[in-house]
A = this chain, B = another copy of it.
Amino acid sequence: MTERTITGTGSADVVRRPHRADARRNFDALLVAAREAFAQHGTGASLEDIARRAGVGIGTLYRNFPTRQDLFDAVYVDDVEGLRREAEKVAGLPPWEALVTWLRRFVGYVATKAAISEALNRESAMFRSCRDIMYGAGEPLFARAQEAGDARADISFDDVLRLVGGITGASFVDDEQRERVLGIALDGVRARPAGAV
């Protein structure tokens, strides 16, 4: 009963968008509210609160998203899809710049921050599929940066993603500091000219 269908092409049709106009409005409002709530309170955000924020009854929430997971997935898949699109956008940039730009998007973009690290580990068809998409998007950028001699050769893309994921989940005084700290981390990813211990 835990299995769900994920479209192979990567489109986010995990749950069906309703046909009727009012239903579609509610569906969208729920997604917006859920994204906000998950970003604010993490995976455990109150579903009743989400329904309230969306201005719909709790019953409507459950009809559209029978389980918490269904709702979370819908938001999460959107985020991951967004990251995939971002990867395409930066494809034209020089290797290192492309990687850095994408990773910055990664930190800024993802609303489901609180669950990122969980998602990297979680064993479920859905999470695995999203992780694949994320890797499919980012790993080539990293490999290209490595081949160009810009990124260290002795680490994996998974390492980088978890490093940046950690920063995504951390808290900062302001955006400026977050950028600075991300910069420090990226310096660690960057290849050294010579070799220092």
Contacts and interface: CB of A to CB of B under 8 A. Distances in A.
A173 to B, nearest CB: 8
A180 interface: yes
Contacts of A21: none
A31 interface: no
Interface in A153-196: 155, 158-160, 162-163, 165-173, 177, 180-181, 183-190, 192-194, 196
A170 B162 contact: yes
A118 interface: yes
A162 B189 contact: no
A106 to B, nearest CB: 13
A64 interface: no
A106 B99 CA distance: 29
A121 interface: yes
A123 B73 CA distance: 34
12 contacts: A117-B171, A120-B171, A158-B177, A162-B171, A162-B181, A163-B170, A163-B184, A163-B185, A166-B168, A169-B169, A184-B185, A188-B189
Interface of A: 44, 117-118, 120-121, 152, 155, 158-160, 162-163, 165-173, 177, 180-181, 183-190, 192-194, 196
